[in-house]
Amino acid sequence: MNEQILNATAKAMVAPGRGILAADESTGTIKKRFDKIGVENTEANRQAYRDMLFTTPGFEQHTSGVILFEETLFQKSLAGVPFPELLASKGVIPGIKVDKGAQPLAGGGLEETITEGLDGLRERLQKYKAAGARFAKWRAVITINEEAPSDYAIHVNAHALARYAALCQEADIVPIVEPEILMDGDNSIEVCEEVTDIVLDAVFAELSAQQVLLEGIVLKPNMVVPGIKCPEQASVQEVAEATLRVLKRRVPIAVPGIAFLSGGQSDELATAHLDSMNKIGGFTWGLTFSYGRALQAAALKAWGGSNVEAGKAAHLHRAKMNGLAALGQWDKSLEKAA
């Protein structure tokens, strides 16, 4: 493990005004996105779509890294350049999703999940590194309902996250540690704050126990928001304050940065929440974005399978808006001016 390489890469991933594009949708997930715009889910179309995103002029000014799906890591651009090489030439760090998805948690009984993919990971990481990946991502999923999350689900997911992180660092690959508390329920923001606190406490306890170098990770947490079915939705300021309360309580200052997932929030709301946190300030880590849908939804719709220039324009706009939010310099009027 090269601590200097890990720390330098992690810092670059959360550089001021730049964030991470999550373009790591599985074949099944991207099919759902393509179905909505009437595009057939073929390898050629997936390649063309990712090519549109990665060749957007200027997106690298606001984007530090891109999380790739395994298929994409080994694909080439339409001009014949391997995607990792194309991204690196723009100063964008290539990354790779390494987990195999969430599966039902055996013995849980609460419809909870455990993320799989540790078997063979050491060998896969070497293959990914040779292809150009410099960081990785593993997502643990935590559900909130009347009975969940259980201590059991929290513990096994935290343990798996730390195991993955240790293996990544062994290979000099920066692990993005992603414990996501889903926002699908009807829980209040107070419940989300309590669960986020407990989960982050468990995750950092496991990272410590497994001797993961905190200076060489990036945390990708959920924001503290009420469930989407909750009758009382919180204001942007309330979300920002609640999220920062938990992070300041649980995230060690050794961690270089935090790159939030959008978790199903609308494009603009995810941007507003990030901006509000950076306007409040008072923290030491880089605080930025690692968005999928919140960066891509507008671009996907504008592209529609053929309109490349419109797709690039929509992608660049969202990247720019989130880059400003990562600096605390976004304003809603900038959206209307687009």
Confirm if 177 and 217 have CB atoms less than 8 A apart.
yes
Confirm if 268 and 229 have CB atoms less than 8 A apart.
no
As a whole number of angstroms, the distance between CA 8 and CA 12 comes to 6
Q: Please confirm, yes or no, whether 220 is among the known catalytic residues.
A: yes
Q: What is the pLDDT along the chain (338 residues), one digit of tens a residue?
A: 999 999 999 999 999 999 999 999 999 999 999 999 999 999 999 999 999 999 999 999 999 999 999 999 999 999 999 999 999 999 999 999 999 999 999 987 778 999 999 999 999 999 999 999 999 999 999 999 988 999 999 999 999 999 999 999 999 999 999 999 999 999 999 999 999 999 999 999 999 999 999 999 999 999 999 999 999 999 999 999 999 999 999 999 999 999 999 998 999 999 999 999 999 999 999 999 999 999 999 999 999 999 999 999 999 999 999 999 999 999 999 997 55
CATH number of 3-337, picked from 3.20.20.80, 3.20.20.70, 3.40.50.2000, 3.30.70.2740: 3.20.20.70
Catalytic residue of the set 137, 220, 312, 320? 220
What are the residue ranges of helices labelled H in 145-292? 151-170, 189-209, 236-250, 267-280
Comparing CA positions, the residue from 253, 247, 151 lying closest to residue 196 is 247
Token output for 182: 């889903």
Question: Residue 206 has what pLDDT?
Answer: 98
As a whole number of angstroms, the distance between CA 324 and CA 326 comes to 5
Angle between helices 267-280 and 236-250 (to 10 degrees): 60
As a whole number of angstroms, the distance between CA 230 and CA 189 comes to 9
Comparing CA positions, the residue from 166, 171, 140, 138 lying closest to residue 153 is 140
As a whole number of angstroms, the distance between CA 173 and CA 300 comes to 30
Catalytic residue of the set 178, 180, 193, 206? 178
Kind and range of the H or E run holding 292: none
Question: Residue 107 has what pLDDT?
Answer: 85
Token output for 74: 């080994």
Max CA separation in the chain (angstroms): 53
Question: Residue 338 has what pLDDT?
Answer: 53
Q: Please confirm, yes or no, whether 332 is among the known catalytic residues.
A: no
Torsion angle of the four alpha carbons 112, 28, 260, 312, in this order, in degrees rounded to the nearest 10: -170
Quote the pTM value. 0.96
Question: Residue 317 has what pLDDT?
Answer: 97
